Amino acid sequence: MHYDYLIVGAGLFGAVFAQQAGENGKKVLVLDRRNHIGGNVYTEQVEGINVHKYGAHIFHTNNKVVWDYVNTFATFNRFTNSPVANYKGEIYSLPFNMYTFNKMWGVVTPQEAADRIARQRQEITGEPQNLEEQAISLVGRDIFEKLIKGYTEKQWGRDCKDLPAFIIKRLPVRYTYDNNYFNALYQGIPIGGYTNLVNNLLEGIEVRLGVDYLKHRDEYENIADKIVYTGPVDEFFGYKLGTLEYRSVRFENELLDMPSFQGNAAVNYTDRETPWTRIIEHKWFEFGKDANGNDLPKTVISREYSSEWTPGDEPYYPVNDEKNSALYAKYQAETAKLTNVIFGGRLGTYSYYDMDVTVDMALKAAKDIL
């Protein structure tokens, strides 16, 4: 059997490209070394709850083309991302808004809040030299200490003074009583979970799961005219130039015999002492209801722990510092030499993308080549 396209990876980029290729009459084979489709947006049902297996994913976009496209394959609910921060038992609204400032300082008006932040920002007089100074220069000492410092140090495994300033180029500050995390025209979660969305994208496409393309390269390399590769770019080249670094995430999942654990989809733990960065309570992504609109009697929570990545761990967030960016540029030069391989997705391009950007890039890649 010969194919027009061999797509390595059944995540969002691969699934969207496969759908577009199939719609254009191309013969497509999709491989994934995991035993499921969907990549990191994969959701699985537990007690009627769609559990985000690899961390919370909330679709949000200002791109109407992308929004209309994904809504062709799934119906999205009206979920609004309104996380809260838990600092040693004190609860704050995120992103930073008037609810946050009222709880922090007792201020009521936007001007009071702006004045308080402006005074605290004066602590940093020169160009910020590290993440701590950058954050204080943006939102002041109080917010930094309670809502940024501990969370960031857990995320990166380093003191904020030892992290580069560019990691926090800007921080969302709203002088309104609006705790919608995303400034996006369109936002929601696919009803039935992301697996349902990806399954619909791949309808009619041949998919083989549990197949590691790189381990069976000889078998698959010549069965298609072109390859769309969405795995780690350095692994594709056998790490011959070096290994790109990531941050990883570990999850502890728990099924609880209670209707609600924390009353919100996401709670960030911003003190340094709590070992996890946040707890996700999955049922609230779909308002605590099952497919028939009934209240779910149980709940599933996931504690997230940020960790250093070592080869063999699941890579999540590229470490886009100077060293890794320079190494990726060398791998990019290698990819440019290959005329029959398209590199896509966050691993294939060593970049962290929101889901809408991933979909948009896949659509554009398909349009350019099909």
Q: Known catalytic residues?
A: 170, 174, 247, 278, 304, 352, 354
Q: 168-180 burial, b if ≥16 CB within 10 A, otherwise e?
A: beeeebbbeeebe
Phi, psi of 42 (to 5 degrees): -55, 135
What string of DSSP letters covers 248-317? EEEEEEEEESSS-SSSSSEEEE-SSSSSSSEEEEGGGGGTTB-TTSPBPS-EEEEEEEEEE--BTBPP-E
Phi, psi of 183 (to 5 degrees): -90, 75
In which element (H, E) is residue 89 found? none
Phi, psi of 278 (to 5 degrees): -160, 165
Nearest CA to 29 out of 55, 54, 53, 2 is that of: 2
What does the alpha-carbon distance between residue 357 and residue 354 come to, in Å, rounded to a whole number? Answer: 5
Query: Quick check: 344 and 362 in contact, CB under 8 A?
Result: yes
Output DSSP code: residue 3. Answer: E
Q: What is the three-class DSSP state of 38?
A: coil
What does the alpha-carbon distance between residue 235 and residue 324 come to, in Å, rounded to a whole number? Answer: 14
Nearest CA to 248 out of 183, 318, 148 is that of: 318
Structure tokens at 249: 């995430």
Q: Is the peptide bond before 275 cis (omega within 30 degrees of 0)?
A: no
Query: Quick check: 213 and 220 in contact, CB under 8 A?
Result: yes
Structure tokens at 194: 């992301």
Nearest CA to 40 out of 148, 165, 195 is that of: 195
